[in-house]
Each structure stands twice: as C-alpha cells, then as structure tokens.
Structure 1
Amino acid sequence: MAAAMIASVDAVPAPRRLVLGSDAAPAIEAAPAARLEDARAQWEPAVATGAPL
C-alpha cells in the first residue's frame, strides 16, 4: 500500500483520490448511487419549493 502511495506522487495527472484496498473500489462505486437515491427521494418536495425562473 505504501508503494502505491509513493508511486502516485509521480502520476500525471495526479489522482484526485487514491483507491487502495480490495474493498475500496466497490465502496466508491456504490457511493454515487446512494447519493442519487437520496436525492430522488427528495425530488418532489425540492421541485415544489423552487422559485419560478
């Protein structure tokens, strides 16, 4: 793991996030889906409170 961290210093472009560990990639993939699900649950109240353009 330390070797991957050190190697990332020379990466061009530099990674925004360094994904390390076998459980990291699935967790990173699941996070946006969970946020989208939360946002969709609030969609109607959000639209109902919007100001007209």
Structure 2
Amino acid sequence: MQPWQIWEAYDLDPWSANVIKYVLRAGRKGPKVEDLRKARHYLDYLIEREQSR
C-alpha cells in the first residue's frame, strides 16, 4: 500500500498526510530517528493548530 492511497481514503490534509508518510517510511530511506522527528514536526503543528481554535 502506498501512503497516497491512505491519504485519499481518509481525505487527509497535507500535515496529517506527512505524519503518515514519515511514520511509514521510518528507517527505510535513512535514519529512523530523522523520519520520526519529521513526523513529530508535522504532528506538533497539528496540535498547535487545534489548541489555537
């Protein structure tokens, strides 16, 4: 399954889609920690956005 298939199935916004992308690829295309940090970056943004509403 490709990440974009998940994005389309769940109609995800770009930030949520990137969280999924980086979690799914963690460790496959470089250091796992780097991918997880990238996922956290987008997740932190989503949390901040929700808290400001």
Which of the five TM-score ranges fits, normalised by the shorter chain? Answer: 0.3 to 0.5
Q: As a proportion of its length, which structure holds more helix?
A: 2
TM-score (norm 2): 0.38
TM-score (norm 1): 0.38
Q: Which has the larger radius of gyration?
A: 1
